[in-house]
Amino acid sequence: MLFSLSAILWTMFFHPLAIVTFTPLVWLKPSEAIKVIELDLAEEPNFDNYTFLSRQRGAVETRIYGMYPKTFCREVRDGGNILWRPNHPQERFSTLMIRKLYDTNVLAYMHVIMGIRFWYVHFGYNNGKWEEITEEEYERRMERTLEDRRFYVENPESDYVFRVSKYKPYGIPANIYMPTFRYKIKEVWSYDRIVWKAQGNEICTFVALHGNRGAIRLMHMFIKYDSSYKIIFFQWRFGKWQEMDKNGFYKLLNLYDFSEELANRTGRQFR
């Protein structure tokens, strides 16, 4: 899709997804040579050929590649995965923006210019490779990228996106973690393992950790989907989280509560 010069100026300053997405046109003298390069995203940035910026905001990393006016890129690839090649001798890309979520490629878009005209090419990362997608699909995925978060059992405050409620009327303490209004828990991790992952439109609305910091023994989470919900219960056993039934969970919780109170009164730690 092609746009007018006024659209270019609007995009430079007001487009909600734009972050310095425009490279000014520079008239080169005939004697000034154009440097032809190939951009491989799998390699370390080469500052002799283009600018490179990286910005980290929570779990989302934004990487921006900007071509110098005297640099012409004839191919953009990620290892063996080719993203883009020009279709016209005067067609060139000025900026490539890549979004990563938890160090994993998610989305990218490219600003391509030819004379005073320009357009965007959008990409999504699927099954280990980049694929061109529509702008509408890009925006849908971008919304999920900004919202979806992981919950790390060992470091739940790492992203600063959870409200914490402490609960200890009796026995072992419990911390209840709820995401702030902007975020949704889509995965729960413990060390390098996935404990729970959303299926379809499932959302974890809170995670409750039972036990002292560094010695969490039980966990349960509230899962919302469609117009219903479910609660999943876990026990830390043999070095990993194992799902269990509700009755078994509360029997263990009562046992731990009683043992904690007994330890507090006698000074003996229950193991």
Q: Give whole-number Cα distances, 178 to 63, 183, 221, 226, 258, in Å.
A: 30, 9, 10, 19, 27
Name residues of the chain where pLDDT drops below 50: 1-28, 30-31, 270-271
Domain boundary among 133, 166, 187: 133
State which amino acid sits at residue 80.
G
Domain boundary among 133, 161, 180: 133
Q: Is residue 140 part of a domain?
A: no
State which amino acid sits at residue 246.
K
Q: Is residue 119 part of a domain?
A: yes
pLDDT at 171: 78
pLDDT in tens, 154-180: 988 766 788 999 887 677 889 999 998
pLDDT at 22: 42
Q: Are residues 245 and 154 in the same domain?
A: yes
Q: Is residue 113 part of a domain?
A: yes
Q: Are residues 122 and 156 in the same domain?
A: no
pLDDT at 6: 47
pLDDT at 32: 59
Q: Are residues 10 and 93 in the same domain?
A: yes
pLDDT in tens, 42-87: 999 989 989 999 999 889 999 999 999 888 999 999 999 999 999 9
Q: Residue 40 in contact with residue 78, Cβ under 8 Å?
A: yes
Domain boundary among 104, 133, 162: 133
Q: Are residues 20 and 120 in the same domain?
A: yes
pLDDT at 270: 47
Comparing CA positions, the residue from 59, 46, 71, 45 lying closest to residue 151 is 59
Q: Is residue 114 part of a domain?
A: yes
Query: Whole-angstrom Cα distance, residue 44 to residue 42?
Result: 7
Q: Are residues 123 and 166 in the same domain?
A: no
Q: Are residues 13 and 125 in the same domain?
A: yes
What is the residue range of 253's domain?
A: 149-266
Considering its fold, how many domains does the chain have in total?
2
Q: Are residues 105 and 199 in the same domain?
A: no
pLDDT at 17: 45
Q: Are residues 154 and 129 in the same domain?
A: no
